[in-house]
Amino acid sequence: MKEKIKEFIFQKKERWEDVARFIWENPELGHQEYKAQKVLVELLEELGFRVEKGTAGLETAFWAEAGDKKNGPTIAFLAEYDALPGLGHACGHNLIGVMSVAAAAALREVLPLDSGRIVVIGTPAEETDGGKVTMVARGAFSEVDIALMAHPSSSYQKSGSSLALEAIQFDFYGRSSHASAAPEEGLNALDALVNMYNSISTLRQQVPDGARIHGIIARGGEAANMIPEHTRAQYYLRAPELDQLADLKEKVIKCAEGGALAAGCRVEISNYEMGYAPLRSNQELNEIFENNLTFLGVDREEIEISLTKGSVDIGDVSQVVPAIHPSIKIMDEPYPGHTREFAQATKSPRAMEGMLIGAVALAFTGFDYLTSPSIQKKVKEEFDREKEKTSG
């Protein structure tokens, strides 16, 4: 049956490529992906899926399904389709959406109807405020058993880990006064901020391996002859685990409070963007995906361990259902993501080839899962075990 899956995907090659190129030519930022949503939804309907838009209250999200949840597990292929400001599809999300749709459609085509439910979830705004984070929080994954997707890259990579992230804003409030005529009347909110900045810089020596603290002064005062009365810093805190992140946050807040205290100011602390949970890749699914890639002719030696030092919104998904986020090679040059070169590469014939391989490997992985109760059991057991570890 795997031969049939591959055949189905390769036969419709031009249809997939047209959609991926259309999304590339019409780049849209997070939460504005109306054209991409429309073209993917039309494609899914044409392929026999029932589709609803606006999932979890996000206008440009969607949920497409085939089969019945009463008959077996629900597997979800995740579709991203947002672009980057000024760069267009420099992260290759034009390929992700289509890859997931093609994989789901192939399974719908070859599997008997009673195998389970095949879903494609359109997850907007990966690059801005992490649509998946909101979707997880609003229960969009409550009926999902596993979530699969693959990301374009300059190499093949196993699904790895990512860092948990929290975006914290510090607003310091003091009192303005003439900086030369009456400095003693003022309370300097910039001093408070700089105190915090320096304290955080010394804190860096005492943070766990892999943790990151990086920030900017978003507001430093109005004019040099006025004691600044309001200043603002924005930071990202990152750590491999959520408990480490909580610990880091507590320490950073102490730096802020200490900085404010020393300058006689007040500090307000808030989140200015969505936080991300770390990616916990399901190793059972990872292995199945890797075997399928090698079955398709990819050299096992060529599949690297992922060394992501960033944060991705599938992290939150992976905390509630077993998930993988491997990388698919779509170019022969080593261009990093979010560059003009990468954007050019994501519409090339080479990228389209990579997209097909990714779609077939995803479909094979879904096939292996849906047709094997023992794999289903192993995936779930691993997920429960890992969850127990981090919550205990």
Min dist. Cβ of residue 159 to Zn ion (A): 14
Cβ contacts of 308 within 8 Å, gap of 6 or more: 160, 161, 162, 163, 279
Min dist. Cβ of residue 41 to Zn ion (A): 21
- CB-nearer residue toward Zn ion: 30 or 275: 30
Min dist. Cβ of residue 322 to Zn ion (A): 21
- CB-nearer residue toward Zn ion: 91 or 293: 91
Within the chain, residue ranges assigned H as helices are 2-11, 13-25, 34-46, 93-110, 131-137, 189-203, 242-262, 283-295, 314-320, 340-345, 349-370, 373-391
- CB-nearer residue toward Zn ion: 104 or 150: 150
Min dist. Cβ of residue 126 to Zn ion (A): 6
Cβ contacts of 131 within 8 Å, gap of 6 or more: 30, 31, 58, 61, 123, 124, 125, 313
Terminal-residue alpha carbon distance, the chain: 42
How many angstroms separate the CA atoms of 318 and 148, rounded? 10
Q: How many residues bind Zn ion (CB under 5 A)?
A: 1
Yes or no: say if 225 and 162 are a contact pair by the CB < 8 Å rule: no
DSSP, collapsed to helix, strand or coil, labels residue 114 as helix
- CB-nearer residue toward Zn ion: 89 or 230: 89
Min dist. Cβ of residue 118 to Zn ion (A): 23
Min dist. Cβ of residue 92 to Zn ion (A): 7
Min dist. Cβ of residue 23 to Zn ion (A): 13
Binding mask 43-82 for Zn ion (x = CB under 5 A): ----------------------------------------
Task: Please list every residue from 81 through 110 that binds Zn ion, using CB under 5 A.
Answer: 91
* Binding of residue 279 to Zn ion (CB under 5 A): no
Q: What is the DSSP string of 73-109?
A: -EEEEEE----BTTTBSTT-HHHHHHHHHHHHHHHHH
Q: Which residues pair with 187 in a beta bridge?
A: 175
- CB-nearer residue toward Zn ion: 48 or 310: 310
- CB-nearer residue toward Zn ion: 39 or 91: 91
Yes or no: say if 144 and 86 are a contact pair by the CB < 8 Å rule: no
How many angstroms separate the CA atoms of 321 and 281, rounded? 10
- CB-nearer residue toward Zn ion: 91 or 256: 91
Cβ contacts of 271 within 8 Å, gap of 6 or more: 166, 167, 168, 169
How many angstroms separate the CA atoms of 306 and 145, rounded? 24
CA torsion sign for 294, 298, 300, 303 is negative
How many angstroms separate the CA atoms of 243 and 200, rounded? 19
Min dist. Cβ of residue 82 to Zn ion (A): 9
- CB-nearer residue toward Zn ion: 91 or 121: 91
Min dist. Cβ of residue 318 to Zn ion (A): 15
- CB-nearer residue toward Zn ion: 91 or 248: 91
Yes or no: say if 108 and 48 are a contact pair by the CB < 8 Å rule: yes
Yes or no: say if 58 and 129 are a contact pair by the CB < 8 Å rule: no
Min dist. Cβ of residue 121 to Zn ion (A): 16
- CB-nearer residue toward Zn ion: 56 or 312: 312
The contact set with Zn ion (CB under 5 A) reads: 91
